[in-house]
A = this chain, B = another copy of it.
Amino acid sequence: MQTQGAPILTPPYGTPSPFEAGVVRHARARGRIPTAASSTTPLQDLHGVITPNGLFFERHHAGVPTIDPAQHRLMVHGLVDRPLIFTMDELMRFPSQTRMHFLECSGNSNYAAAPASATAGDIHGLISCCEWTGVPLATVLAEAGVQSHAAWVLAEGADAAGMTRSIPIAKALDDALLVYAQNGERLRPEQGYPLRVLLPGYEGNMSVKWLRRLKVGDQPFETREETSKYTDLMPDGTARQFTFVMEAKSVITFPSGSQQLQGHGFYEISGVAWSGRGRITRAEVSTDGGASWRDAVLQEPVLSKCLTRFRAPWTWDGAPALLQSRATDETGYVQPPRETLIGVRGLNSGYHNNAIQTWSVLADGSVRNAA
């Protein structure tokens, strides 16, 4: 209090405290193509349900393109009465909606064993949540005049991967948005600036970024990203295609992997739950590895296809403990144990793992991943 603080506007766009320099996204191992990469949201360092834009997880198939919004165009064609090309200014004149939704990569929480030192973000950080603003896809399709036998819509990105996915027309006409803003400001480059599609509750790669083209058809387009990739190979050698919805899931973010409790006594267990099918209706926690469960409190408002923060009081007696959480959504579906999920799906596929996570609290207060 003895010295004047820093003056204003340095910089005009603010940044976190230097004391929070460790709260960043973490890049995951890259393959042969360096731009085909991902980075995770540090869930263990976050509170509430909003992910700040600077920490929103990334998954790119060919890096982040630089797109001048004044030059960008969206083409709508195929089984429509009036093929159309829009500028960004034209698109943004349509009526907009704002909604809070999570976005989760289908490859989140890969089944492969993570090390004991793994954090919540390391294992489950390919999920983020923010407030999206955009134009309902249904509005733009109505403007083009979708023909009666239309059944699917191809969404194509303007990245070097030419990312393409087929969207069922029912979803396109339901709650799909053409998004231009996140958490108040325009989309971040790595989230598809200046335009992406958002399919609430569906696996993340379908919410195609840097959206440049929508083609309406009468059957799925069988793109690379829905045939050789993003299908679930089952134990019998057949594959599940078009597993769109991300099922109910949860993870405790405190206490979680690599965190350290400061002695026994009172703690508040806290985590996030979500479902691609709607609202979370229940989150339970266990401190004995699933032998017994009790209800956590859900932070209001509980929104559809959105992260829900849950909290439960816990007095730690200093003995080793196994912490788990499980989510139930409005359809009645309950998040399964890891063994149950593997029993059905096997380990051929790394996608759609919504199994219960276990954190092990050791007697010294350290917290470790116990899968």
Interface residues of A (CB under 8 A from B): 1-9, 11-20, 23-27, 30, 33-35, 37-39, 45-56, 58, 60, 62-66, 68-69, 89, 93-98, 130-133, 158-160, 162, 180-181, 183-190, 193-194, 262, 265-268, 270, 299, 301, 303, 309, 311, 313
B266, A93: Cβ atoms closer than 8 Å: yes
- Option from B6, B55, B58 in Cβ contact (under 8 Å) with A64: B6
B185, A9: Cβ atoms closer than 8 Å: no
**Given known contacts A25-B12, A25-B13, A39-B12, A52 and B185 CB-to-CB distance under 8 angstroms:** yes
Which B residues touch A133, using CB under 8 A? 47-48
- Closest chain B residue to A159, Cβ basis: B5
- Closest chain B residue to A68, Cβ basis: B19
Which B residues touch A1, using CB under 8 A? 65, 158-160, 162
A301, B301: Cβ atoms closer than 8 Å: yes
Task: Name, among A7, A187, A299, the residue most crowded by chain B CB atoms within 10 Å (CB to CB).
Answer: A7
Work out how many copies of this chain go into the complex.
Answer: 2
A5, B62: Cβ atoms closer than 8 Å: yes
A96, B311: Cβ atoms closer than 8 Å: yes
B12, A13: Cβ atoms closer than 8 Å: no
A9, B39: Cβ atoms closer than 8 Å: yes
Q: Can you list 28 A-B pairs with a CB-CB distance of less than 8 A?
A: A1-B160, A3-B160, A4-B62, A5-B60, A5-B62, A6-B66, A7-B37, A8-B27, A8-B35, A8-B60, A9-B27, A11-B24, A14-B56, A14-B190, A18-B66, A19-B68, A20-B185, A47-B96, A48-B183, A49-B98, A50-B183, A51-B184, A52-B53, A55-B184, A55-B185, A89-B262, A93-B268, A95-B313
CB distance from A365 to the nearest CB of B (A): 12
CB distance from A350 to the nearest CB of B (A): 19
| Cα A64 to Cα B131 with chains together (Å) | 28
Which B residues touch A313, using CB under 8 A? 95
- Option from B54, B159, B162, B311 in Cβ contact (under 8 Å) with A14: B54
| Cα A298 to Cα B17 with chains together (Å) | 35
B47, A184: Cβ atoms closer than 8 Å: yes
Besides A3-B160, A6-B64, A48-B183, 14 other CB < 8 A contacts? A4-B62, A5-B64, A5-B160, A8-B27, A8-B190, A9-B39, A12-B25, A13-B16, A13-B24, A17-B189, A47-B180, A48-B133, A48-B184, A93-B265
B8, A38: Cβ atoms closer than 8 Å: yes
| Cα A181 to Cα B190 with chains together (Å) | 24
- Closest chain B residue to A27, Cβ basis: B9
